[in-house]
């Protein structure tokens, strides 16, 4: 069995992988996301931003593990992800404050945006190098219009502050999503169809990752 190392603290990504038969090793990258985005510059396409953030997270974890215990072998793959909402020509991550989340929802309500999730898969070879496959999944999200009382309650829950775009599909925020066009697992945080394709590019089949196989 090949072990998957998830370079993310996201409980939603962990839940998606577990539901799909994988018990990952979790290692948080601690990448400075703002610094990575600044280095890309303001002209970088939104898809490039999330994909490069995902790559930076995966590489940071791989470098740390290589430094701690020597070069990892091909019996591991490292996966990094990053999600942001592109709406009204603005790329949005997690809102910094409750007031910011309120402003976002007042703008998002009744509108549509694209939830972009960058994915990067690294497969080490035991000699200090690795195969690299990365891409972005794009899903259109059509938002409903919560009432004032519903929005107050949602903001009070704290959930919008913990997630990209200030909403979830699989939590309380799902009440305020009218529909999506695309991959629901990608909106939650890690797209299984895209992951399957990226894993294949580095020579790994999904069944190789299933727990107990």
- Cβ-based burial of 121 (10 A; exposed 0-12, middle 13-18, buried ≥19): buried
Please state the pTM of the whole predicted model.
0.94
Please give the Cα distance from 34 to 53 (Å, whole number): 9
pLDDT tens-place string over residues 19-66 = 999 999 999 998 999 899 999 999 999 999 999 999 999 999 999 999
The catalytic residues are: 82
Cα angle: 62, vertex 25, 189; to 5 degrees = 90
Taken in order of first residue, the domains within the chain and their CATH numbers are: 3-209 (3.90.950.10)
pLDDT tens-place string over residues 6-19 = 999 999 999 999 99
pLDDT tens-place string over residues 106-149 = 999 999 999 999 999 999 998 877 899 999 999 999 999 999 99
């Amino acid at each position: 069995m090949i072990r998957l190392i998830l370079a993310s603290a996201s409980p939603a990504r962990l839940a998606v992988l577990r539901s799909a038969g994988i018990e990952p090793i979790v290692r948080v990258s601690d990448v400075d996301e703002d610094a990575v985005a600044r280095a890309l510059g303001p002209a970088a396409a939104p898809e490039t931003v999330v994909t490069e953030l995902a790559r930076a997270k995966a590489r940071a974890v791989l470098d740390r593990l290589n430094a701690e215990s020597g070069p990892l072998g091909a019996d591991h793959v490292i996966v990094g992800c990053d999600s942001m909402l592109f709406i009204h020509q603005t790329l949005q991550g997690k809102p910094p404050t409750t007031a910011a989340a309120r402003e976002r929802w007042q703008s998002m309500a009744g509108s549509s945006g694209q939830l972009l999730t960058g994915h990067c898969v690294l497969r080490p070879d035991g000699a200090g190098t690795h195969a690299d496959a990365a891409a972005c999944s794009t899903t259109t999200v059509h938002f409903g219009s919560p009432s004032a009382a519903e929005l107050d309650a949602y903001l009070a829950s704290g959930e919008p502050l913990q997630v990209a775009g200030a909403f979830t599909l699989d939590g309380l925020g799902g009440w305020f999503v009218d529909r999506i066009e695309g991959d629901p697992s990608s909106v939650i945080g890690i797209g299984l169809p895209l992951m399957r394709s990226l894993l294949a590019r580095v020579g790994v089949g999904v069944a190789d990752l299933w727990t107990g196989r």
